[in-house]
Chain A
């Protein structure tokens, strides 16, 4: 990223509906050429925040677009005239495809002929130039969504808002459009705000991810960092990191960070401030061993012994739950590895994992989150 100022900045943005605060975003920045994914469960306030950012809904707080504060209804309209949005459904007009794509341009005062020319170019970028003369109400779901995206890109928006753009498509159409969109968005150079509840979709497209929980942004950062180092249990749960270890983070004299668990074991863990914490341990980071690890496995600093408590299938892998001194550690293993280790429910086994696989999430006040 360059040192360019963000295109759109929201500070303390709040949307209150019927006396209930549905969105309260402390700070959010959208930058040119960056795909910012707003991730969260259904009902987390993602779409409401998107509408507030696009000036579709009035909100309290500060919204600054291209250096100027958006205050009045007229400011919000001016903002909408420099941005574009695509929603879950394509919302095309009962007209030809090319006229649909030209709509945004026509609304912004571009002459008909020029608008059609640019509309045709936008359709081409999304690989649907051949649909130009078709009636928009006669398209398949995937085609219609591509037309809707072409309509948004045709206006060359400063910010492109995408609200679950792939959610209503069937899997093949979704995959195809996802791949094309990555290229198209890269070329467009707009700041992109992409709302989704789909983790895979987020990971595939995001430069930056903001996790929205109960209307508030609980974590923002580079996509990979947010995905591997969740700072809240809500995000950890959302990411499927649901094996919790409750304990207290301590700093060892040698500078290493320790997680002391109530049952007695002390684990080396990733960096975290001292105090009560809940740690998540992704099952794919846990290795099961029948014997103590060999010396070259030195990075697997944590080794705990326990008994296999349960086995379940996760896709083509097996999820093995190991009970260790009253707590549980899960591991993903291949069926072949399961057989090689001679595993069965009740069998003794060692679970080994790196210190960095344990992500402690501070628990303010020590209460259960």
Chain B
């Protein structure tokens, strides 16, 4: 018990002093997950829009794949990325394994189905009559999609927060593709694993507090936005 208490007080000291390593790991986490989120949005929003707007053979299959992807364990995604990037893998020539880029790729793949699925779900909630009304006003496909995305903006922000929460707290994939190299590919989650394993509880707790704060902030923002959305439609 004394060890834990010591850890907590040391952690507070580390945080208050703005420990260089804690700051560095935090920034790397934000950078990797932030970039992954941006890429997932850039791909997932149009993808969700297409799935919501178009009727094509195999659409149900694509939707099922997205839904499965939303529940895919990060470790499995990590394994797939490692297999692709390993020296003899199909993308081995890029020499990306155990780099920040590899972590971004893995987290993008984790966040993409989440964004796509939530955008699709949000757009499917829109009354088909509104879609028809916009078409009657002369909107083309892209104009319709943009207007509808604006219409479901609250759900869209929820998708952003959910995807961010999924990647910032994810440990399996970044560990596998990044290698958890201190000073290079170590992020909040993997650093906590390593510090805990080495018995450096103070550092682990300090990092955990930062991670919790980030996850909490994301969830708080999500809750506030959803409440605002409910009030508006109510």
Contacts and interface: CB of A to CB of B under 8 A. Distances in A.
Interface of A: 51, 54, 56, 77, 80-81, 83-85, 87, 89, 91, 93-95, 103-104, 107-108, 137, 151, 155, 161
Complex A-B, nearest 9 residue pairs according to Cβ-Cβ distance, in ascending order: A85-B136, A81-B138, A91-B133, A104-B137, A91-B130, A107-B138, A80-B138, A107-B139, A91-B129
A80 B135 contact: yes
B150 interface: yes
Contacts of A95: 150
Chain A CB within 10 A, most for which of B127, B133, B140: B133
Given A80-B135, A137-B233, A93 B151 contact: yes
B197 interface: no
B147 interface: yes
A159 B136 CA distance: 11
Given A103-B137, A107-B137, A93 B150 contact: yes
B64 to A, nearest CB: 25
Interface in B111-142: 127, 129-130, 132-140
Contacts of B132: 51, 56, 87, 91
B151 A80 contact: no
A94 B138 contact: no
B138 A77 contact: yes
A155 B137 contact: yes
Contact of B147 (A54, A56, A77, A93): A93
A80 B139 CA distance: 8
Contacts of A91: 127, 129-130, 132-133
Contact of A54 (B130, B134, B136): B136
Interface centre among B135, B140, B232 (most CB of A within 10 A): B135
B196 interface: no
B232 A77 contact: no
Interface residues of B, number: 18
A51 B147 CA distance: 21
Given A93-B151, A137-B233, A56 B135 contact: yes
Contacts of A87: 129, 132-133, 136
B68 interface: no
Contacts of B233: 137
Given A107-B143, A137-B232, 10 more contacts: A54-B136, A80-B136, A81-B138, A84-B136, A87-B132, A87-B136, A89-B129, A103-B137, A137-B233, A151-B137
Contacts of A85: 133, 136-137
A102 to B, nearest CB: 11
A103 B139 CA distance: 9
A360 to B, nearest CB: 42
Contact of B140 (A51, A56, A77): A77
A201 to B, nearest CB: 21
Given A87-B129, A89-B129, A93-B147, A104 B232 contact: no
Contacts of A84: 136-137
A115 to B, nearest CB: 12
A116 to B, nearest CB: 16
Contacts of B151: 93-94
B136 A161 contact: yes
A69 B91 CA distance: 53
Interface in B52-88: none
Contacts of B135: 56, 80
B33 to A, nearest CB: 30
A54 B232 CA distance: 33
Contacts of A103: 134, 137, 147
A132 B22 CA distance: 52
Nearest to A104: B137
A81 B137 CA distance: 7
A155 B154 CA distance: 29
A54 B133 CA distance: 11
Contacts of B143: 107
Contacts of A108: 138
A333 B136 CA distance: 48
Contacts of A54: 136
21 contacts: A56-B132, A56-B136, A77-B138, A80-B136, A80-B138, A84-B137, A85-B133, A87-B133, A91-B129, A93-B130, A93-B147, A93-B151, A103-B134, A104-B137, A104-B138, A107-B134, A107-B137, A107-B138, A155-B137, A155-B138, A161-B136
B171 to A, nearest CB: 38
A56 B138 CA distance: 10
Contacts of A94: 151, 232
Contacts of B130: 91, 93
A94 B127 CA distance: 13
Contacts of A77: 138, 140
B96 to A, nearest CB: 43
Nearest to B133: A91
Contacts of B134: 103, 107
Nearest to B141: A77
A167 B150 CA distance: 29
B176 to A, nearest CB: 43
A83 B133 CA distance: 12
Residue from B136, B140, B143 with most neighbouring chain A CB atoms (10 Å): B136
Contacts of B127: 91
